[in-house]
Chains A and B, each alone.
Chain A
């Protein structure tokens, strides 16, 4: 079984400050991990993924995420937040042993960046 948790429903940061959106996962083996962003009235957009290799993954729009196997976490980060980063963020996980493409998504975290 695979599952993912986003412990915070909402994250508020000031523009220019660093941001972190948290994600923890549970799979039986090594996970495939993903982050997506959803802007209002839009579909989800792929941000980045971790499959294997370097624990620090860089993605679109200046975002990065760090895979931590011991803590089973994959937190999304950005050094300096922009107001335009305000959106709903989803973490997703897939057990490589499951059918390709069948990822489990978290409940989402709303990020609000204030000017």
Chain B
């Protein structure tokens, strides 16, 4: 298996622009998680899905952030408009129903907003 795939690996954008991060979970996994990692705040859970349905989005910072999972093999995290404080590494992770807490992380997208 190729593992969790994220794209792009690096994204540099200007403040005010829309940013879309993409994730392909491991085939057969029922859960998908989006995290943000910064030096100041550590690793934060933004939102997670079960069978393509959002279960908990309480970690989403504000309305500028949105996430979708249109099918079992694809999810997006969108920031519109982006701000410099959104600069971080964004991780997608997935897990199987039989071992929900054993999460497999993607390589991350390093986002820089100037």
Contact = CB atoms under 8 A, between A and B. Distances in A.
Interface string A22-50: 00000000001010100001111110010
A87 B7 CA distance: 24
Contacts of A112: none
B25 interface: no
A69 interface: no
Query: Size range of the interface on B?
Result: 20 to 34
Contact of B33 (A32, A45, A101, A108): A101
B111 to A, nearest CB: 14
A17 B102 CA distance: 29
Contact of B108 (A34, A43, A102): A43
Given A99-B55, A108-B42, A43 B101 contact: no
Interface of B: 4, 31, 33, 42-43, 45, 48, 50, 55-56, 91, 93, 95, 100-108
Given A90-B43, A101-B95, A105-B42, 7 more contacts: A44-B91, A46-B102, A49-B102, A94-B101, A101-B31, A106-B42, A107-B42
